[in-house]
């Protein structure tokens, strides 16, 4: 008997999922801490946050990346590896789109250059002094045509009690021919006409939240492609294109060694709640993560307001895209889908053509300086054919997973939205508020 089968037996159950249209299951896959198997309980330290660092009292005494068993707080720190943008030097095509409940689609492509100023992985964001820079991002818009030439530089900083600024943000517009520094953004506020907030993109700072493990669960799908899009064209790091069957895209990539025999991924379910002495006006009162039990990659993220109602839901598919780093740092999310539960607004993100790139000293000094944007030089020539174009080819809604962890989750969806979700699931593609029709900015251009 192989070791993986032994592990499944020790966990104590084998689930056969039978998900209904909204993700309710006939076979229960979620477990409270008392119901968890011996192996998965043994990887968690249930005693609380543990000793504190002698010099930085709000941080754990144990040195990152820690060792098992992991406290809930330490899992929160490990989550910092897996923000929207990977923590290493690279270039990519960042493709994104939003579709409304009426089927109105907008999409865009930015070519991104990422400079990791600290060491790769989350340790640079964790171990630096408050106020230190740990990453710089430079983006050049190439699509839609009306946005071509717009640019942005993001400067990410380590926060601290006396250094609350997490992001310096600069934009350049060809019409004005000026670089403008933007005021510090409200990190919890969604972008206009989008689902994501700045913190959704930049990632959380673990020390600004309190953490709890509330149980375990097994996931069988995250990002859902429609039946109308059986194939997606993706870009390799060398710029060549290839086709991928969307049904073959796995939650944790092809080489993840910990899939269950039935294809599921065992996860811990972790709650993060903002510390009000750090984030007194933060509008997200609770975040619930489903993280794989080996590397703590977040496959599903739910955000709730102070009334306990679901605000947004994010699902992701992962790949190990940097084999030079340990597994717990080398994964990132090429596919993400976000959903606003109140507006029934869906958005997606595709990171295409990921190329590891070691910047020279001259490139570091020049390319990531906000003044460089005045040159209007598109330094990164990455290409992508990942746009959706047709709203009916947009991603399906994430599964709602109704009934799981009822003491922590209140998932109450407006009847008309729930009806659209069920109709879309039955059709295998999105059904819009008018029942069928849709229009597209992309098609008009």
Q: Are strands 439-440 and 104-116 parallel, antiparallel or unpaired?
A: parallel
Instruction: Report the alpha-carbon angle 165-167-172, nearest 5.
Output: 135
Q: Whole-angstrom Cα distance, residue 135 to residue 133?
A: 6
Q: State which residues of the chain have pLDDT below 70.
A: 1-26, 435-445
The pTM score is 0.92
| Residue 441 pLDDT | 47
Q: Whole-angstrom Cα distance, residue 360 to residue 97?
A: 33
**How many structural domains does the chain have?**
1
pLDDT tens digit string along 224-269? 999 999 999 999 999 999 999 999 999 999 999 999 999 999 999 9
| Residue 27 pLDDT | 77
Q: With residue 319 as reference, give the H or E element that holds it.
A: strand 310-320
pLDDT tens digit string along 326-342? 998 999 999 999 999 99
Place of tokens 């990887």: 43
| Residue 23 pLDDT | 52
The CA dihedral of 22, 26, 30, 34, to the nearest 10 degrees, is: 150
SS3 of 422, please? Answer: helix
| Residue 185 pLDDT | 82
- Which structural domain, as residue segments, surrounds residue 434? 3-444
Indicate which CATH number applies to the domain containing 173. 2.50.20.10
């Amino acid at each position: 008997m192989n070791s993986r089968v032994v592990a499944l037996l020790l966990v104590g159950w084998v689930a056969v999922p039978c998900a209904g249209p909204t993700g309710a299951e006939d076979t229960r896959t979620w477990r409270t801490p008392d119901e968890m198997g011996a192996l998965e309980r043994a990887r968690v330290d249930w005693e609380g946050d543990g000793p504190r660092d002698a010099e930085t009292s709000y941080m754990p005494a144990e040195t990152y990346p820690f060792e098992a068993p992991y406290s809930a707080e330490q899992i929160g720190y490990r989550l910092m590896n897996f923000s929207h943008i990977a923590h290493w030097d690279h270039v990519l095509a960042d493709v994104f789109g939003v579709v409304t409940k009426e089927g109105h689609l907008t999409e865009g492509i930015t070519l991104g250059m990422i400079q990791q100023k600290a060491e790769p992985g989350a340790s640079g964001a964790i171990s630096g002094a408050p106020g230190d820079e740990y990453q710089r991002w430079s983006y050049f818009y190439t699509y839609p045509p009306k946005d071509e030439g717009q640019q942005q530089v993001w400067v990410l900083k380590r926060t601290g009690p006396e250094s609350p600024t997490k992001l310096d943000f600069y934009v350049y517009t060809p019409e004005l021919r000026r670089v403008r520094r933007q005021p510090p953004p409200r990190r919890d506020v969604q972008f206009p006409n989008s689902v994501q907030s700045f913190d959704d993109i930049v990632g959380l700072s673990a020390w600004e939240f309190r953490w709890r493990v509330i149980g375990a669960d097994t996931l069988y799908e995250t990002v859902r492609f429609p039946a109308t899009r059986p194939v997606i064209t993706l870009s390799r790091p060398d710029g060549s294109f290839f086709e991928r069957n969307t049904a073959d895209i796995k939650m944790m990539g092809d080489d993840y060694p910990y899939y269950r025999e039935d294809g599921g991924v065992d996860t811990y379910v972790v709650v993060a709640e903002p510390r009000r002495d750090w984030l007194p006006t933060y509008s997200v009162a609770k975040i619930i993560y489903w993280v794989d039990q080996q590397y703590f990659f977040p496959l599903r993220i739910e955000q709730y307001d102070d009334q306990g109602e679901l605000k947004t839901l994010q699902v992701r598919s992962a790949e190990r895209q940097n084999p030079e780093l340990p597994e717990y740092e080398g994964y990132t999310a090429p596919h993400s889908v976000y959903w606003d539960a109140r507006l029934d607004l869906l958005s997606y993100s595709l990171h295409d053509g990921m190329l590891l790139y070691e910047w020279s000293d001259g490139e570091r000094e020049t390319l990531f300086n906000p003044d460089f944007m005045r040159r209007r030089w598109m330094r990164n020539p990455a290409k992508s054919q990942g746009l959706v174009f047709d709203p009916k080819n947009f991603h399906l809604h994430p599964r709602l997973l109704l009934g799981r962890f009822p003491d922590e989750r209140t998932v109450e969806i407006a009847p008309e939205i729930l009806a659209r979700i069920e109709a879309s699931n039955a059709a295998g593609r999105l059904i819009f508020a008018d029942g069928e029709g849709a229009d597209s900015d992309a098609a008009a251009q």
